Amino acid sequence: MPELPEVETVRRGLAPTFEGALITGVDQNRADLRFPFPADFAGRLSGRRLTALSRRSKYLLGDVDGGEVLIMHLGMSGSFRIEGDDADQTPGRFAHARGKDQKHDHVVFHLETADGMRARIIYNDPRRFGFMDLVARPALADHPYFRELGLEPLGNDLSGETLARLFAGRKTTLKAALLNQKLIAGLGNIYVCEALWRTGLSPKRSAGTLVTKTGRPTKKAIELAGHIRATLEDAIRAGGSSLRDHRQADGTLGYFQHAFAVYDREGEACRTPGCTGTVSRLVQSNRSTFYCPVCQR
């Protein structure tokens, strides 16, 4: 499943073409993806202008004039490509050949861009685990997808003080607490492993141990908040991490996986300077956790 940096990378790739564009038509090539499309999906978007493209957790949100929001989720294998009328291939640099099987092109947005050019944004999803929906903007916060989501880890709210408030009294493991989408939205397995390694914290440690008896954040809680943000920002700058099916909007692969310190590096030497440990793997909540048992305490 693409994580927050991959979704943010896709958003940034789509924004120059999608934002401000008039949707002149929509080809909806099937009745459903993971869930059925909303009633009159193509008709409600045709003739509308997409005024802004944002992200909430792992969801892409396209505001259209008229007050509705186009919700898009990539699922496991969903991706977008951008094509102009005079283009014979998807732009971008490819590490692997990209599939062109049109039977997986489930939605095509025909656009007149803000600068008057014609373009198509095509949603391709072989496994059909992604989905799209249309929701009135005032109802978005209370929608089932969003009403229980926690804070954005790249927002101004993430701090040591915030982590202390969220983790106070929690006996669950630190890894489980960070993956709890009701606390922090969008953090996934890869980047939690990397942020914990950067902070020198064990994924098995109780989340409540980052809070003092007076409810204040420990030094490690303050460091962890900074490392979460830095890890995500580094991954976004690298274009995300390309595992299995994920591609950016232009078809290129992300490269943050080449900078992994612990994720998927079981048996390799820890990269912490001076550490003699070896990266280990354990299973927590049916997910692989990678960490160094020597320097992560």
SS (H, E, C) 77-93: CCEEEEEECCCCCCCCC
Q: List b or e across 165-190, with b for residues whose CB sees 16 or more CB atoms inside 10 angstroms.
A: ebbeebeebbbbbbbbeebbbbbbbb
Catalytic residue among 58, 81, 170, 175: 58
Catalytic residue among 2, 5, 153, 217: 2
The yes-or-no answer on residue 171 being catalytic is no
Task: Give Cβ neighbours of residue 166 (< 8 Å, ≥ 6 apart).
Answer: 150, 177, 183, 184
How much is the pLDDT for 258? 52
How much is the pLDDT for 239? 66
Catalytic residue among 16, 98, 287, 293: 287
For the entire predicted model, the pTM comes to 0.88
The yes-or-no answer on residue 216 being catalytic is no
Phi-psi label, residue 239: left if phi above 0, alpha if psi -120 to 50, beta otherwise: left
**Which residue positions in the chain have pLDDT lower than 70?**
1, 85-100, 239-258
Token representation of residue 28? 């909806």
The yes-or-no answer on residue 144 being catalytic is no
Q: What is the pLDDT of residues 17-57, one digit of tens each?
A: 999 999 999 999 999 999 999 999 999 999 999 999 999 99
Token representation of residue 172? 């669950």
Token representation of residue 208? 């409540």
Kindly list the strands in the beta sheet with 131-136, ordered across the sheet, starting from the edge strand earlier in the chain.
50-56, 59-64, 68-73, 131-136
The yes-or-no answer on residue 58 being catalytic is yes
